[in-house]
Chain A
Amino acid sequence: MTVPPITDMAPMKLVIVGHVDHGKSTLIGRMLHDTGSLPDGKMEAVKAMSDRRGMPMEWAFVLDALQAERDQGITIDTTQIFFKTPARPYVIIDAPGHKEFLKNMVSGAASADAAILVVDAKEGVQEQTRRHGYILHLLGLDQVVVAVNKMDLVDHSQARFDEVAGEVHKYLGSMGITPAAILPVSARHGDGLAVKSTNMPWFEGETLIASLDTLPPKPMPVELPLRFPVQDVYKFDERRILAGRIESGKLNVGDTLLFSPSNARAKVQSIEAWSVDGPVLSASAGQSIGITLDDQLFVERGNVASHASEPPVQTNVFRARIFWLGRAPLEVGRRYKLKLATLEHPVEVQAIERVIDVSDLSERPADRIERNEVGEVVLRARAMLSVDEFTDNPRLGRFVLIDGYDMAGGGLVSMDGFHDLRRANAPTSQNITAVETRITTDARWAANGHKSGVLWLTGLSGAGKSTLALELEQALFRKGWQVYVLDGDNIRFGLSADLGFAPEDREENIRRVGEVAALFARAGILVITAFISPYRSDRDRARAVAPDLFHEVYVNAGLAVCEERDPKGLYKKARRGEIAEFTGISAPYEAPEAPEVEVETGSLSLAQSVEQLLGYVEANFATKGS
């Protein structure tokens, strides 16, 4: 195979960062000129622009194509500029140094292969030098060449260069970045860019261009485990094609894929493509493909296919390092839309653990993260999300948060302190496959004359869950509905007879109830469960078993009312310390934040409460004529 001419190669993506006025635009303008990459006439145009403004040759004008920019004298937005050296083509992403423009820097730097950090020899490391350095680190961009610029203004002093180089080395090193090179340049005069500087004979390293040419491009993550997030499902013709891009790893025709979060499995029957020679038998990271399966599983956008042996993490809660771009600050308790690969799901900020001051890497506690700040948070979702640790697999370990209509921040996933919940929900045995029932849920609903689902009653002991559940069951049964109550007694006597009341036993008990309730619901029955189920994560997991059928009902009477009622005398015992970890007294109750229904049994009579729930059931489960 012949080597393609360098003009035809993929350009190396460079981002240029650094403090405002440290000379980024000048460096770029001069680099374009010195590599012979300026289109004909451009240099004359820049000269004319400079003359018109009564300035000496201003290299930064090469970039300043917009009228508005020239008026402000600063570069506004991320620009892409192409240039080439004898070794390869480059594309420069010019990231502005102005503080408000972090979003543009991120927009540029996130896709870069390498960065040039420009530092003024006179001023040394400044606030934005540190900030930009930190963002590079955060984005996982670890190939950095440092250009110590404006050496002409410090008399080409080796001592000053060594001082600034030491300062930069120390800061980048504290984040684990080892610069590929630190070199002295005078961009305005082209000193040290394409040719070695005669003004700095003491410097033995390479020129800026030569050190760029030695950097390897960012490799495609072909060797990581397969991650194929489904982007869309197409039925343009007789084929049902799952379309998407392979984010990491490889897949072959015949491979068995595991889909998350459903845990369903199917084989790749074909890799579809238009206008290619011969059948496609394999595909790897970076390719946008389409596949058909040997089994018509329910698959939708946001599901992630992997190989069964190396699946992504499943969790509804995780830690994240966030950089915030939003106009309104990120705050505890607020909800945002998370977008991770093709997955979109609402998440809530459960906690802000710390805000990091990127100018000295110090940390402080905070209850909000302001625009342009970086912090660590815990995010919680209502359903199981398929993610990876950022350090294991960046492609599924990074996400953005949407506030209203705007992309307000980016984040990196850390599972530090949280479990992968996949095992709890996935079959241990590999030799089982889902049986496709011949009777659809729709058919069962049609036969019963109503829809089925899970009404998950949660609330404090004494709030009236069981009473309400039994009344509702009776009322619906009289109307001819298929309805059944699951409560502590009938579950604890049999299915969960092996479990005690330790926290992990309670968690397992609720997991079993969630599974059983989902089976009943799929069988066409309206299930009413009556469990305190105090933890959000347990209820979220129960919801995740059958998300489309799950309805959370918050039976809310308030602690004071429940304690006064105390039908079983349990509160008294708990107050006396005779019952350990009693919900509401010595163990927390995490109230639902957005239940489908809330019944205020503290102020409503039983009849009114039943009436309210009956109304909800009629509105959501009745089919025509029922």
Chain B
Amino acid sequence: MNHLDSLEAQSVYILREAFNKFDRLGMLWSLGKDSNVMLWLAKKAFFGHVPFPAMFCDTGKKFPEMYAFQKEYAEKWGLNFIRRDCPPIEEIDPTLPPAARSAARKTEALKRLIAELDLQAVIAGIRRDEEATRAKERVFSPRGENAEWDFRDQPPEFWDQFKTDFAPGTHIRVHPLLHWTELDIWLYIQREGIPLVPLYFSRDGKRYRSLGDMDITNPVNSDADTVEKIIAELRATKVAERSGRAMDHEAEDAFERLRSAGYM
């Protein structure tokens, strides 16, 4: 088994554990590269099927290319696609810095979606290498009644035995990509031929490394217009992947506060 085979096998194992343990389960599909890889892995795990809804919390501020992609692949991949609008910014905690406050709309929409579908668990495509607070995550990560994350008291997790017993009211985030790096994601996209939103590829000397809302996501300088070139670029870079995501950089603890409150 090579490295990508091991990563795939581990993610498939996690997805199957989640599917076995939760009757009411949903997967977040943000339309980004990681969540496409995650859907692809679900099809690997369940032999061509995705046996739970693919959920999209729409801020209304995504790039047109993303909406087009969503339309095309929700159908092509035979997804049970569920889209919900995020609440307006006025309903969000005004003490958050502007970009973080904007991002927190998604948290609120997700909470409402969880309540609406009565979900026990949500599968999210976060990775440990993306950002320092995500590095502390568990594969099966419990959230309290208000979706909050207690990073100080996380359950033990070893030998691939995940927390699968919960007090009523607990909600679980499942993270099948936690052990992948950005480069792993691209190598896997290359090997499997996974389709992506075209914004990842360079146009006029710029490309997006990470996709969010149009107003709080910035492109990076790059001439990489193919998967191969992006891989070559990542092998050399020392710039953080989320450097183009404004909400991570407004304050030392902005992203930590977002996540403690239930952000992905």
Chain A positions near chain B (C-beta within 8 angstroms): 4-5, 7-10, 38-40, 65-68, 76-82, 103-104, 106-107, 109-111, 220, 231-232, 234, 236-237, 239, 241, 243-245, 272-275, 284, 286-288, 290, 301, 325, 337, 339, 398-400, 402, 404-407, 410
Cβ-closest chain B residue relative to A222: B1
Contacts of B170 in A (CB 8 A): 405
Cβ of B216 within 8 Å of any chain A Cβ, yes or no, is no
A615–B104 CA distance with the chains assembled, in angstroms: 58
A232–B155 CA distance with the chains assembled, in angstroms: 24
Q: Which of A38, A65, A79, A406 contacts B155 (CB 8 A)?
A: A406
Given the known interface contacts A79-B135, A107-B156, A325-B156, the answer about A337 and B165 at a Cβ–Cβ threshold of 8 Å is yes
Cβ-closest chain A residue relative to B193: A275
Chain B: interface residue total (CB-CB under 8 A): 56
Chain B positions near chain A (C-beta within 8 angstroms): 1-3, 5-6, 8-10, 12-13, 16-17, 19-20, 40, 43-49, 51, 128-129, 132-133, 135-136, 138, 151-152, 154-159, 161, 163, 165-167, 170, 181, 183, 187, 192, 234-235, 238-240, 252-253, 256
| Nearest CB on A from B227, distance (A) | 13
A9–B17 CA distance with the chains assembled, in angstroms: 26
Given the known interface contacts A8-B3, A10-B3, the answer about A274 and B44 at a Cβ–Cβ threshold of 8 Å is yes
A236:B3 contact, CB within 8 angstroms: no
Given the known interface contacts A10-B3, A286-B1, the answer about A275 and B43 at a Cβ–Cβ threshold of 8 Å is yes
B13:A274 contact, CB within 8 angstroms: no
A80–B235 CA distance with the chains assembled, in angstroms: 19
| Nearest CB on B from A18, distance (A) | 19
Contacts of A8 in B (CB 8 A): 3, 183, 187, 235
Given the known interface contacts A7-B183, A274-B44, the answer about A245 and B49 at a Cβ–Cβ threshold of 8 Å is no
- Most chain-A Cβ atoms within 10 A of its Cβ — which of B155, B156, B181? B156
A77:B151 contact, CB within 8 angstroms: yes
B256:A232 contact, CB within 8 angstroms: no
26 examples of A-B residue contacts, CB within 8 angstroms: A7-B234, A10-B2, A10-B3, A39-B238, A65-B135, A66-B133, A77-B152, A79-B136, A231-B20, A232-B16, A236-B51, A239-B47, A243-B16, A245-B13, A272-B47, A274-B43, A274-B44, A286-B9, A287-B5, A288-B8, A288-B9, A288-B12, A288-B13, A399-B161, A404-B165, A405-B170
Contacts of A81 in B (CB 8 A): 135
| Nearest CB on B from A226, distance (A) | 16
A398–B160 CA distance with the chains assembled, in angstroms: 11
A288:B45 contact, CB within 8 angstroms: yes
Cβ-closest chain A residue relative to B11: A288
| Nearest CB on B from A515, distance (A) | 32
Closest 7 CB pairs of A and B: A65-B132, A110-B158, A103-B156, A10-B3, A288-B12, A67-B253, A288-B9
B158:A66 contact, CB within 8 angstroms: no
Q: Which of B5, B6, B9, B135 contacts A80 (CB 8 A)?
A: B135
Contacts of B234 in A (CB 8 A): 7
Contacts of B10 in A (CB 8 A): 288
A410–B156 CA distance with the chains assembled, in angstroms: 10
B1:A301 contact, CB within 8 angstroms: no
A107:B158 contact, CB within 8 angstroms: yes
A231:B17 contact, CB within 8 angstroms: yes
B239:A40 contact, CB within 8 angstroms: yes
B9:A400 contact, CB within 8 angstroms: no
Q: Which of A82, A287, A410 contacts B181 (CB 8 A)?
A: A82
Contacts of A337 in B (CB 8 A): 165
B183:A40 contact, CB within 8 angstroms: no
A237–B46 CA distance with the chains assembled, in angstroms: 11
A77–B155 CA distance with the chains assembled, in angstroms: 11
| Nearest CB on A from B199, distance (A) | 23
| Nearest CB on B from A347, distance (A) | 15
Q: A106-B156, A236-B49 are in contact. List 10 more A-B contacts (CB 8 A).
A: A65-B132, A80-B135, A107-B138, A275-B40, A286-B9, A398-B159, A399-B161, A400-B158, A402-B165, A406-B163
A236:B13 contact, CB within 8 angstroms: no
A106:B158 contact, CB within 8 angstroms: yes
Cβ-closest chain A residue relative to B255: A65
A79–B45 CA distance with the chains assembled, in angstroms: 28
| Nearest CB on A from B27, distance (A) | 16
A172–B37 CA distance with the chains assembled, in angstroms: 43
A236:B47 contact, CB within 8 angstroms: yes
Contacts of B154 in A (CB 8 A): 77, 104
| Nearest CB on B from A411, distance (A) | 10
A231:B16 contact, CB within 8 angstroms: yes
A82:B136 contact, CB within 8 angstroms: no
B165:A76 contact, CB within 8 angstroms: no
A232:B240 contact, CB within 8 angstroms: no
Given the known interface contacts A40-B238, A274-B44, A405-B167, the answer about A287 and B1 at a Cβ–Cβ threshold of 8 Å is yes
- Most chain-A Cβ atoms within 10 A of its Cβ — which of B51, B158, B192, B239? B158
B152:A220 contact, CB within 8 angstroms: no
A39–B249 CA distance with the chains assembled, in angstroms: 15
Given the known interface contacts A10-B3, A239-B47, the answer about A39 and B9 at a Cβ–Cβ threshold of 8 Å is no
B165:A5 contact, CB within 8 angstroms: no
Cβ-closest chain B residue relative to A290: B47
Q: Which of B13, B49, B128, B157 contacts A107 (CB 8 A)?
A: B157
Contacts of A103 in B (CB 8 A): 155-156
Contacts of B6 in A (CB 8 A): 10, 286
Contacts of A234 in B (CB 8 A): 46-47
Q: Which of B17, B48, B49, B151 contacts A76 (CB 8 A)?
A: B151
A404–B152 CA distance with the chains assembled, in angstroms: 21
A406:B165 contact, CB within 8 angstroms: yes
B159:A110 contact, CB within 8 angstroms: yes
